[in-house]
């Protein structure tokens, strides 16, 4: 099994964190992983994206040519990457910030109200973890317990953030 994903959004939306957490979970499950971040010069507010490939076999290139998944946190990211996803792929759309007005009929579109759900949790910064939870449930690339374990490693120096982000992951996971 091989899975390629593009995570994209504005800098500050936690796009690179989503990809890194997914990559860490893949490694915890003893899979082969590549993580390739890219961001504009003005990090916060500029565009950011990363590609993550997870496979049971060795990965030849970190470049996600014809990914099966796109996680778009904002409209410009959706526009930029929508045509790269292969036929039969899945778009995860942050429906709090955009309508899924997409002309492609050969992909599934999952609308996740990530920002609205994050507001309900009391912290907009966890919208990315809500989206990652939804992605994890639908894609089945890694398991939720492994993702939470990786999250705990990531926030080892900031333990106050573990509970909120775990709840955000779980809430996103339970959407589908």
Which residues, including other chains, have CB under 8 Å from residue 135's CB and lie 6 or more apart?
5, 18, 22, 69, 71, 92, 141, 172
Question: How many structural domains compose the chain?
Answer: 1
CATH of the domain at 162: 3.40.920.10
Give the residue-averaged pLDDT of 106-112: 96
Which residues, including other chains, have CB under 8 Å from residue 79's CB and lie 6 or more apart?
none
Nearest to 135 by CA among 71, 72, 88: 71
Domain that holds residue 103: 2-173
Give the residue-averaged pLDDT of 158-168: 93
Hey, what are 101's tokens? Answer: 């007005």
In which band, very low, low, confident or very high, does the pLDDT at 16 lie, cut at 50, 70 and 90? very high
Angular region, 133: left φ>0, alpha ψ -120 to 50, beta rest: alpha
pLDDT of 64: 64
23-53 per-position pLDDT tens digit: 999 999 999 999 999 876 655 567 799 999 9
pLDDT of 41: 60
Is there a contact between 86 and 128 (Cβ–Cβ < 8 Å)?
no
Nearest to 75 by CA among 91, 51, 52: 91
pLDDT of 40: 67
pLDDT of 65: 78
pLDDT of 99: 86
Strand, coil or helix: what is 148?
Answer: helix
Give the residue-averaged pLDDT of 62-84: 90
Question: What beta strand segments (E) does the chain contain?
Answer: 2-10, 32-39, 47-55, 69-72, 90-94, 108-112
Q: Indicate whether 114 pLDDT > 90.
A: yes
Give the residue-averaged pLDDT of 113-128: 97
């Amino acid at each position: 099994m091989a899975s390629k994903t593009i995570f994209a959004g504005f800098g500050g939306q936690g796009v690179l964190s989503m990809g890194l957490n997914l990559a860490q979970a893949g490694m915890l499950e003893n899979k082969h992983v590549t993580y390739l971040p890219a961001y504009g010069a003005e990090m916060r507010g500029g565009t950011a994206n990363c590609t993550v490939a997870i496979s049971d076999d060795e990965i030849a290139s970190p470049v996600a040519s014809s990914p099966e998944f796109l996680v778009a946190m904002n409209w410009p990211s959706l526009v930029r990457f929508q045509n790269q996803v292969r036929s039969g792929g899945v778009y995860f759309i942050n429906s709090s910030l955009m309508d899924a007005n997409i002309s492609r009929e050969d992909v599934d579109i999952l609308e996740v109200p990530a920002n609205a759900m994050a507001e309900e949790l009391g912290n907009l910064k966890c919208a990315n973890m809500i989206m990652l939870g939804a992605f994890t449930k639908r894609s089945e690339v890694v398991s939720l317990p492994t993702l939470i374990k990786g999250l705990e490693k990531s926030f080892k120096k900031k333990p106050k953030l573990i509970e909120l982000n775990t709840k955000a992951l779980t809430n996103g996971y339970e959407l589908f």
